[in-house]
């Protein structure tokens, strides 16, 4: 291995733009890492002021993993980053102090305790809701010994896939001059998402998300959206998705591209298997066609003012 690659992933994985995500069985690791991101995400939720549609809570893809970006603990700046190259949670304060928590096979309870202790050593004492949301089984973090797996190579491949998805989604976002979200990682799902808005208010969202108050979804979906992203579920290697809220009549029957895309009735959204993108001759164009055609379904059927909202590539 190249000595400059400080990781347990072989160097070849860095040379494959769209890595295969089933080189190891990582379901247990995925679920554990999901809970860890919820712990860190809830710290950001507790420290940052409310921004429309909960945009103050996501994480962001970084050059080393996933980061909170800058947060404010009183007058002190704080950033927490999942460093998926060196496999540590890096907590950095603006006064130069930092603490690290090892990313290794350990329970959610152990990770939660170590992370909160590290915050305390930096002088940050912040209460959080100590249980996960948007999951069927909501085990309090301090009691969760069920989730304890960590395959560093698998998590790193997932991050490398997020890097590519982020790049394509950023290009897609740039084709819209209306209100649009950043490309950000929502730890509830978890999913990497970017959302376009028509500019019109939406009907009240019905809620119903497990272990999540209905008013949370009402704030998230206060305005009409067409949203797309990547989710490590739905298919063996995960899925790209696209949905509209509210869903216009005929949305499910719109002829989207590429042929590998399909409408999932149970989820109420279009899915495109990650594996189909990874193995395409031109993955970027393949994925962009999915994002564009599913957005077109939402915008055309929903009567969006496309001339005012879009810009030519």
Q: Is the pLDDT of residue 2 over 90?
A: no
Cβ–Cβ < 8 Å for 91, 80: yes
Q: 299 or 6, which is more confident?
A: 299
| Portion of the chain with pLDDT greater than 90, in percent | 92
Which pLDDT does position 10 carry in this prediction?
45
**Cα separation of 15 and 99, whole Å?**
31
Percent of the chain whose pLDDT exceeds 70: 95
- Name the H helices within the chain: 12-15, 27-47, 108-121, 152-173, 214-220, 274-278, 283-302, 306-309
Q: Which of 20, 302, 23 is nearest to 161 (CA)?
A: 20
pLDDT digits (tens, 9 = 90+) for 24-37: 889 999 999 999 99
pLDDT digits (tens, 9 = 90+) for 48-106: 999 999 999 999 999 999 999 999 999 999 999 999 999 999 999 999 999 999 999 99
| Rounded distance between C-alpha atoms, residue 312 and residue 162, angstroms | 25
- The residue-averaged pLDDT of 144-169 equals 97
> For 161-176, what is the mean pLDDT?
97
pLDDT mean across residues, the chain: 94
pLDDT (tens digit, 9 = 90+) per residue, 174-205? 999 999 999 999 999 999 999 999 999 999 99
Residue 23 pLDDT: 84
Residue 259 reports pLDDT greater than 90: yes
């Amino acid at each position: 291995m190249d000595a400059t690659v400080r990781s347990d992933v072989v160097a070849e994985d860095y040379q494959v733009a769209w890595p295969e995500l089933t080189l190891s069985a990582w379901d247990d690791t995925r679920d554990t890492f999901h809970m860890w991101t919820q712990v860190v995400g809830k710290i950001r939720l507790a420290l940052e002021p409310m921004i429309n549609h909960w945009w103050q809570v996501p994480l962001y893809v970084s050059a080393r993993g996933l980061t909170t970006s800058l947060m404010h603990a009183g007058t002190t700046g704080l950033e927490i980053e999942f460093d998926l190259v060196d496999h540590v949670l890096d907590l950095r304060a603006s006064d130069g102090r930092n603490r690290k928590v090892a990313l290794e096979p350990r329970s959610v309870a152990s990770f939660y305790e170590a992370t909160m202790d590290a915050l305390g050593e930096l002088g940050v004492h912040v209460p959080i809701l100590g249980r996960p949301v948007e999951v069927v089984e909501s085990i309090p973090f301090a009691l969760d010994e069920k989730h304890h797996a960590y395959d560093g190579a698998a998590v790193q491949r997932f991050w490398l896939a997020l890097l590519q998805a982020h790049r394509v989604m950023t290009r897609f976002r740039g084709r819209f001059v209306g209100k649009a979200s950043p490309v950000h990682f929502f730890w509830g799902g978890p999913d990497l998402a970017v959302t376009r808005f028509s500019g019109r208010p939406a009907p009240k969202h019905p809620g119903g998300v497990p272990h999540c108050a209905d008013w949370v979804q009402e704030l998230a979906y206060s305005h009409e959206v067409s949203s797309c992203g990547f989710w490590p579920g739905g298919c063996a290697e995960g899925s790209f998705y696209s949905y509209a809220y509210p869903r216009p009549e005929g949305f499910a029957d719109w002829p989207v591209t590429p042929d590998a895309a399909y409408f999932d009735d149970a989820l109420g959204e279009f899915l495109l298997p990650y594996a189909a993108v990874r193995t395409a001759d031109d993955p970027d164009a393949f994925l962009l066609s999915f994002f564009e055609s599913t957005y077109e379904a939402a915008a055309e059927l929903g009567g969006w003012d496309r001339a005012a909202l879009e810009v030519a590539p």
